Amino acid sequence: MSDLTIGIDIGGTSIRAAVVDDRGESMDTLRAATPATAQALEHCLDRLVGELGSRWSVSGVGLAIAGFLTRDRSTVRFAPHLPWREARVAEEMSARVGLPVFAEHDANAAAVAEWRFGAAGHGQNSLVLAIGTGIGAGLVFDGRLYRGSYGVAPELGHIVIVPDGRPCSCGKRGCWERYCSGTALVDTVVELLADAEWGRSKLADESAADPGSVTGRRIAAAANEGDPLALAAFASFASYLGQGLAMIADVFDPDLIVIAGGVGRASGLYLDDAREQYAAMLTGAGYRTLARIRGTQLGESAGMIGAAEVARTMLSDGATATRTAGDAQLARAVLRD
């Protein structure tokens, strides 16, 4: 059996696929825009696997999917930004491409990758937060992925952190990801602009001239240049990040928290402030051991690398494409060293 597997991270706007080895190294990477229909999406995935499979000898495929999967990962129940509904994605793809295929929630895949190869370095209770458009979360709890009773845990982006706060696409108000994400940074800038004068801010001038030009990425670049408006937006972000982490730590008491995702790369702008807020808001502050809070080592490749690792581990455990992954098998995916 080849040591190489293909990992594919299927996001709402783009798809990244790579051939990955058993040390988490990507050998050959492809990208594509995410098609809008299920048929076009499946055709695109088959084409990526066909192309990579023609260049490398691979033994299986792992898919990191941004959506709700059943606990056994056999079925994608719903994915807000993908066309699949109650779809047996892995089994059907396996029949088309002739390789074993395994599906995993994207944040769980990222948590597996950070745990095996990255910043989470085999922590016993580690939380990986993927902060981008929203917040995705993967939790390694007592050395294994924690999924909850029905496969949806941990859905941390939608815990309410500001009662009656900003509206969220989930239907609630004040969700954590509405204050602590790339898109939230943009909303914070709009609110700060309405609240005060920002005479020396280039970002404020740009926003006045063309409000649509302000993105999370632009705010991070402005903050790196010392722009006061951008720095104030990151101070707000850091404060909500620290507060949310303190709430989560009161439930799970993790030893390690890794901040990944698109905003994870800008961790130098907020991580120290978030740590301070976290330490101050924690119940029993000063009398308990603080979790280490780190930036990602794998960046936006974590989901893709983790998907490949899930496939490799499932294959080495003797699973077949049509046999769904049991908890014990996934536990070994995280426990194996």
- Where on the chain is the footprint of Zn ion (CB under 5 A)? 158, 168, 170, 172, 175
Q: How far is the CB of 162 from Zn ion (least distance, A)?
A: 11
Q: Which is nearer to Zn ion, 75 or 181 (CB)?
A: 181
**How many CA atoms are closer than 13 Å to the CA of 111, on its beta-carbon side?**
31
CB of 8 to Zn ion, least distance (A): 27
Q: Report, in Å, the least distance between residue 125 CB and Zn ion.
A: 25
CA 232-107-4 angle, to 5 degrees, is 130
Q: Give first-to-last CA distance, the chain, whole Å.
A: 19
H helix intervals, the chain: 38-55, 89-97, 106-117, 182-195, 202-209, 216-224, 228-252, 271-281, 302-316, 327-335
C-alpha to C-alpha distance for 3 and 330, rounded to whole angstroms: 19
Minimum gap (Å) between residue 216 Cβ and Zn ion: 18
Compare residues 181 and 313 and give the one whose CB is closer to Zn ion: 181
- Give min distance, CB of 191 to Zn ion, in A: 18
Q: Give the Cα separation of 336 and 114 in Å (integer).
A: 14
Neighbours of 163 (CB within 10 A): 7
Q: Kindly tell me which of 27 and 78 has the beta carbon lying closer to Zn ion.
A: 78
Compute the least distance from the CB of residue 130 to Zn ion, in Å: 16
Using the minimum distance from each CB to Zn ion, give the nearer residue, 135 or 229. Answer: 135
Minimum CB–partner distance for residue 108 and Zn ion (Å): 20
Report how far residue 140's alpha carbon sits from residue 146's, in angstroms, rounded to the nearest whole number.
6
- Of 288, 256, 292, 259, the closest CA to residue 125 belongs to 256
Nearer to Zn ion, 38 or 170 (CB): 170
Q: CB-wise, 169 or 322, nearer to Zn ion?
A: 169
Distance CA 143, CA 125 (A): 6
Q: Is residue 328 a contact partner of residue 143, using CB atoms and an 8 Å limit?
A: no
